[in-house]
Amino acid sequence: MVFLQGMTLENHSGARAVLKAPWAYRMLQALVGKSRALRHLHESVWSIQPGFKLIDIGCGPRPMLDSIPFSIDYIGIDLDAAYIASAKAQHGNRGTFLIGTTKDYMDDPRMHGADLILCNGVLHHLPDLEVHELIDFVAKHLKPETGRFTAIEPCHLVFESRLSTWIMNQDRGRFVRSEEAWKQLFSENAGIVYRTRIMANMIRIPYFHVIIDCWKKQ
Ligand SMILES: C[S@@+](CC[C@H](N)C(=O)[O-])C[C@H]1O[C@@H](n2cnc3c(N)ncnc32)[C@H](O)[C@@H]1O
């Protein structure tokens, strides 16, 4: 069955339906080695500095607050109310947790001047139109010059094993794109500059990810 969440299409058919429960989602993440992946991302990709304003789009039920400095001004946004409730129950005193999408907070002054906007495993849930809206949000709210947006998304390679293709196609997100397609989406916004990098073996299953970094155009 396909659920419409706002404009978002997600595949919740078969065994995927159980992932709507925050505990099941957390268990799957533990199985695929999410903690190890998070350590690597902290050390080599995100570089979160004390005092940063950090917006975590699609923060999910278990935001990364255990592993970042207390001085971070953290805003987590997720359209799933149960995930936001779970995040608040764990970390309610450490940040602001908001239900909705970037479209809902486009004109919210709390978003201005972000040092880092993260989007982990979210864009492949969104059709092109919603990705464009999210990039508009990024272009509007990133701090000029130093502010950075980083997304990490599943990505099909020009050549990959059938097993990898099959596993990535089991994702609840219906928009696992090729690197070329990810680049195309980001190249269509004149307000940003971006780069992509491919990452293999980040988790314990044969999956590929693209890291998309972008900055406000000066
Ligand atoms: C694969 S999960 C990733 C969660 C978290 N970022 C992580 O790395 O564990 C995708 C998350 O994006 C949320 N989501 C999907 N579409 C969204 C949208 N348009 N705006 C905000 N959150 C969204 C889902 O509810 C879900 O929590």
Query: What is the average per-residue pLDDT within 146-163?
Result: 96
Residue 192's closest CA among 213, 160, 214?
Answer: 214
* Range in 27-36, 113-122, 154-163 with the lowest mean pLDDT: 27-36
Question: Would the CB of 57 count as within 6 Å of ligand 1?
Answer: yes
Question: Would the CB of 86 count as within 6 Å of ligand 1?
Answer: no
Give the E-state strand segments of 58-107 in sequence order. 73-78, 95-99
- Report pLDDT for 22: 72
Q: Which of 125, 168, 170, 175, when mutated, tests ligand 1's pocket best, judged by the most ligand atoms within 8 Å of its CB?
A: 125
Q: What are the tens digits of pLDDT across the range 54-93?
A: 999 999 988 888 888 999 999 999 999 999 999 999 998 8
Calculate ∠ Cα 123-126-127, nearest 5°: 125
* Range in 3-7, 99-103, 152-156 with the lowest mean pLDDT: 3-7
Question: Would the CB of 83 count as within 6 Å of ligand 1?
Answer: yes
- Report pLDDT for 11: 66
- Report pLDDT for 9: 58
**Do you know the residue count of the chain?**
218
- Compute the distance from residue 56 Cα to the ligand 1 centre, in Å: 9
- Compute the distance from residue 109 Cα to the ligand 1 centre, in Å: 22
Residue nearest to atom 11 of ligand 1 (CA): 58
- Using a pLDDT cut of 90, give the percent of the chain over it: 69
Residue nearest to atom 27 of ligand 1 (CA): 60
- Report pLDDT for 25: 67
- Report pLDDT for 16: 62
Does 139 have pLDDT greater than 50?
yes
- Report pLDDT for 67: 85
Question: Would the CB of 79 count as within 6 Å of ligand 1?
Answer: yes
- Report pLDDT for 201: 85
Given a contact cutoff of 8 angstroms between Cβ atoms, the answer to whether 58 and 125 are in contact is yes
d(CA 78, CA 12): 17
Residue 148's closest CA among 114, 119, 105, 123?
Answer: 114
Question: Would the CB of 80 count as within 6 Å of ligand 1?
Answer: yes
Q: What are the tens digits of pLDDT across the range 166-204?
A: 989 888 899 999 999 999 999 999 999 999 999 998 888
pTM comes to: 0.88
Question: Would the CB of 74 count as within 6 Å of ligand 1?
Answer: no
- Compute the distance from residue 218 Cα to the ligand 1 centre, in Å: 29
Question: Would the CB of 58 count as within 6 Å of ligand 1?
Answer: yes
d(CA 150, CA 120): 8
- Compute the distance from residue 156 Cα to the ligand 1 centre, in Å: 20
- Report pLDDT for 171: 87
Q: What is the mean pLDDT of the chain?
A: 90
- Report pLDDT for 15: 63
